[in-house]
Structure 1
Amino acid sequence: MTEDLFAPYTALAAQLLPFATPETTDGAHDIAHITRVWKNVQNISQVENGDLEILAAATLLHDCISVEKIAQIA
């Protein structure tokens, strides 16, 4: 199960995963992306001493809203 990737925060992950990916066809913001972000967060946290439970929630929700990118006109 995907929430197992967030052990020991599997209960938190189970609650937040339904909100974790925006409803788009953007393949760059899928569960594989969230998994990569989580691995990076864990590595950074080892140096910065972050609260992994809060960081797990932030990881799961960091793309929960999709904001359309607009082109800049120079």
Structure 2
Amino acid sequence: MEEAVSAADANRKFSLILRSVRDGNSYVVTSHGRPVARIVPADRHENVVVGARNALLSRLEQQPVVSAERWTRDELYEDDR
């Protein structure tokens, strides 16, 4: 579970937050109540990237191949407005 922390508090408590992140916790940094950043353990970020890449490749492998005719340059940039 991510804990929300204001940018000002994150600045004041940065060392404490880093120790907490090292223990596996994560934070959403907010500015004026709006999320602007996440502080997550480095290995979790890498796992998310690897997982997203694998999910994308798996989905692409399952997509049927579409056989389309070749387009001319004019057809490709045709504007139907």
Which one scores higher on RCO, CA 8 angstroms, separation ≥ 6?
Answer: 1
Higher strand share: 2
Higher helix share: 1
When the two structures are superposed, what TM-score results if normalisation uses the length of structure 1?
A: 0.30
Max Rg structure: 2
